[in-house]
Structure 1
Amino acid sequence: MSKGRAARLAPVITMAERAEREAAVQLGRCQGLLSQAQVKLGELEHFRGDYQQQWISEGQRGVSGQWLMNYQRFLTQLETAIGQQRQTVDWHRNNLDKVRELWQQRYARLEGLRKLVQRYREEARLAEDKREQKLLDELAQRLNSGDSD
């Protein structure tokens, strides 16, 4: 009977495996997107550092008012882009946390189902062992009672 219970769970296990795999793929995608966003943020921050270094170099030689206005305008745009990219990184990080949680739930469900099936199989094996032992005991008893006749 327990073996039948384990077999009846096979489609449920298959569906749980598929759901867990899909969540794992989505988790990988989200990790990749977060990584890309972090790289882009790093590039923007590095560019800002280079641009500020250019200000130091140019400033030592003297700059025109127009150059200074252009520098400040571009630096403001760059700071805005960096701020937006930080928000993008935060969004991807939060999304990754949600997707990771979903994957963990699906993985835990799959493992729970696998343990249940294993328990059912073990129960079936024990029941089969008991049945065989009972048959052997009955056979031995018949043989012993036949010897005494």
Structure 2
Amino acid sequence: MSEAATDTLSLLLERAERERDAAARVLHTAGQQAEAAHAQHGELSGYRQDYQQRWTQSFARGTTMSIVGCYQSFGQRLDQAVTTQGHVASHAEQRQVRAREALQQAELRVAALRQLIARRQADAAKAAQRREQRATDEFAARAHLRRTAHA
């Protein structure tokens, strides 16, 4: 394999490795964001459940219509917040899946380039070995001709 081809493949491999490393960082960040979004969704859901339990206990003791209205209004906003955070968590999870797929593709490119380089190096080594064998055979044949010519 020529030096120029080796240099080109080495540059391609370095670039693919940088892209793979960047994809790994993106996946890590996406994972953290998905985890945080799910945690916040869980906290909001837990808070909503606690709020409903507290309200049920308060309602059992009796309350006014204005307080019931406040409870319903806040409950609706809390439901919306839980739903919105569920969507945020879902989108974060989708970003994580896409980032994982991108990392897998980048890893495949790196592996393919490494395999190509190894194959090219093996081919070059075989070609060099054949040339060396040919030269050795040629030298031996000439030496034999010289010996037979002198004899």
TM range (shorter): 0.7 to 0.9
| Corresponding residue for residue 87 of structure 1 | 87
| Corresponding residue for residue 128 of structure 1 | 128
Are the equivalent residues in 2 in contact too, given 1:37–1:88 (CA < 8 A)? Answer: yes
Q: Which has the higher contact order (CA 8 A, sep 6+)?
A: 1
Structure 2 gaps of 5+ residues are none
Are the equivalent residues in 2 in contact too, given 1:3–1:120 (CA < 8 A)? Answer: no
| Corresponding residue for residue 34 of structure 1 | 34
| Corresponding residue for residue 119 of structure 1 | 119
Deviates most, 19-28 or 65-74: 65-74
TM-score by length of structure 2 reads: 0.86
Which SS does the other structure have where 2:63 is aligned?
Answer: coil
TM-score by length of structure 1 reads: 0.87
Count of matched residue pairs: 149
CA positional deviation for 1:21: 1.0
What is the alpha-carbon root mean square deviation over aligned residues?
Answer: 1.9
Are the equivalent residues in 2 in contact too, given 1:3–1:124 (CA < 8 A)? Answer: no
Write the letter of the residue equivalent to 1:130. Answer: R
| Corresponding residue for residue 8 of structure 1 | 8
Q: Deviations over 1:30-75 (max 9, x none)?
A: 1111111110000000101111111222233222323222211111
Structure 1 gaps of 5+ residues are none
2: CA distance between counterparts of 1:63 and 1:94?
Answer: 44
